[in-house]
Amino acid sequence: MTQVSLKAPAIRRLGGGTGPRQRVRGLSDRALAFYFVLPSLLLLLAINIFPLAWNIYLSFTNYRANMPGFPVRWVGDLNYARLLGSEDVWAAMQHTAHFVGWAMLIQVILGFGLAWLLNRKFKGAGLFITLIALPMMLSKAVVGTFWTYIFQPQSGIFNYIVNFFADVGEFTMLGNADLAPWALILVDTWMWTPFIMLIVLAGLRSVPQDLYEAAEVDGASSWRQFWTITVPMVLPFLMLAVLFRSIECFKLFDMVAELTSGGPGSATELANIFLKRQAFETWRTGYAAAFAVILFVTTFGAANIYVKFWTKVKER
């Protein structure tokens, strides 16, 4: 530690910022700051930036991870050209869009509704919220596994409940190309609606009550209060929740791998499942790397546009 006597100038120096930058044993404030950040910077470089760069490099080659001896050839944009022309890729993207779109819509409606109901003081509200939030805390792979049991045609409770209300007979949720995508949406909704609920609840609780009082005195109906006060105040919260959730949905893998592994056929082959199949079943590593880059750019770009929009909404 540098020895400094605690006189006024020394204190000023330690305080940083305000006083003129002085050297304490040859280290300026800026350099000191840099050395503190350096370890995490190196770590980030090693486990994030390098793999990303390597992946981008691979996407321009014909590399196959299962054939280490195979000569690696630079193929230019061939992988990208193939990807964009492939029906399977477009199908995977469509499946993903279908999943993300419906999951978000249903979760927003349910999450908002639950938050709305829980946003009044009643005995045991805290316990209730904890219970509702439980699914969110489970591992996605575990959730996937036990929902396969729930969906079992003969012994699963899902079929039993559906048949209790509507006599449709035995059906296979996960084995049917029309139903399987909805099974994914159902499980994701069961698991993640509480997340949206919690964030919306925080938003609802941040609305100053006196605004509602003012509106009430001004003769505004509950409907008008909802649209002029609640919605604008909660929207930034809701949008943030949707951002987190859609990124997660977009890269969803483990739960689907447990539930359907992309099947039946390719009915639930979301982008990430498709990616995994290309990379580790057909071993077209370069091709998969190119797809990963496309996914990355898409998510990153969409998230950035969304955040810009979000900032606008928040600042209103």
Partner 1 sequence: MAEIGLDAITKSYNATVAVDDVSLRVGDGEFFVLLGPTGAGKTTTLRTIAGLEMPERGRVTIGGEDVTRAAPAERDVAFVFQQFSLYPHYTVYDNLAFPLRAPARRMAEAEIDRRVRKVAEQLHITPKLGNQATRLSGGEMQRVSIGRALVREPAVYLMDEPLSSLDAKLREGLRVELKHLQVDLGATILYVTHDQVEALTLADRIGVLHEGRLLQVDTPRQIYNDPDDAVVAYQLGAPAINFLPADALGLDTPGVASGAVRPEDVTLIAADAPADGSVPAVDATVTQVERLGPEDVAVFDWHGHTLRALLTPGQAISRGDVVALRFEPDKIMLFDARGRRVRRGADRNTAAGHGAGPMSQRADTGVRNAG
Q: What are the residues binding partner 1 (CB under 8 A)?
A: 208, 210-211, 213-221, 224, 228-229, 232-233, 316
Q: Give 200 or 295: the residue with its C-beta nearer to partner 1.
A: 200
**Least CB distance to partner 1 at residue 299 (A):** 30
Q: Give 8 or 217: the residue with its C-beta nearer to partner 1.
A: 217
**Least CB distance to partner 1 at residue 315 (A):** 9
Q: Give 10 or 215: the residue with its C-beta nearer to partner 1.
A: 215
Cβ-contact 63, 291 below 8 angstroms: no
Report the run of H or E that residue 129 belongs to, with start and end.
helix 125-133
The one-character DSSP state at 71 is P
Please count the other Cβ atoms lying within 10 Å of the Cβ belonging to residue 183. 23
Q: Give 105 or 202: the residue with its C-beta nearer to partner 1.
A: 202
Q: Which residues of 33-67 are buried (b: 16+ CB within 10 A; e: fewer)?
A: eeeeeeeeeeeeeeeeeeeeeebeebbbbbbeeee
**Least CB distance to partner 1 at residue 232 (A):** 4
CA distances, 64 to each of 58, 87, 222, 282, 291 (Å): 9, 22, 62, 9, 15
Phi, psi of 72, rounded to the nearest 5 degrees: -85, 125
- Of 68, 98, 57, which is closest to residue 293 (Cα–Cα)? 57
Report the run of H or E that residue 133 belongs to, with start and end.
helix 125-133
**Least CB distance to partner 1 at residue 310 (A):** 15
**Least CB distance to partner 1 at residue 198 (A):** 23
DSSP collapsed to 3 states, 145-188: HHHHHHCCCCCCHHHHHHHHHCCCCCCCCCCCCCCHHHHHHHHH
Pairwise CA distance, residues 131 & 85, whole Å: 47
**Least CB distance to partner 1 at residue 103 (A):** 29
Pairwise CA distance, residues 74 & 79, whole Å: 10
Q: 310 is written with which tokens?
A: 């979000």
**Least CB distance to partner 1 at residue 312 (A):** 13
Q: Give 227 or 300: the residue with its C-beta nearer to partner 1.
A: 227
Pairwise CA distance, residues 69 & 25, whole Å: 53
Q: Give 162 or 235: the residue with its C-beta nearer to partner 1.
A: 235
**Least CB distance to partner 1 at residue 4 (A):** 44
Q: Give 88 or 213: the residue with its C-beta nearer to partner 1.
A: 213
Pairwise CA distance, residues 250 & 274, whole Å: 12
Q: Give 10 or 211: the residue with its C-beta nearer to partner 1.
A: 211
User: Which residues make beta-bridge pairs with 22?
Assistant: none
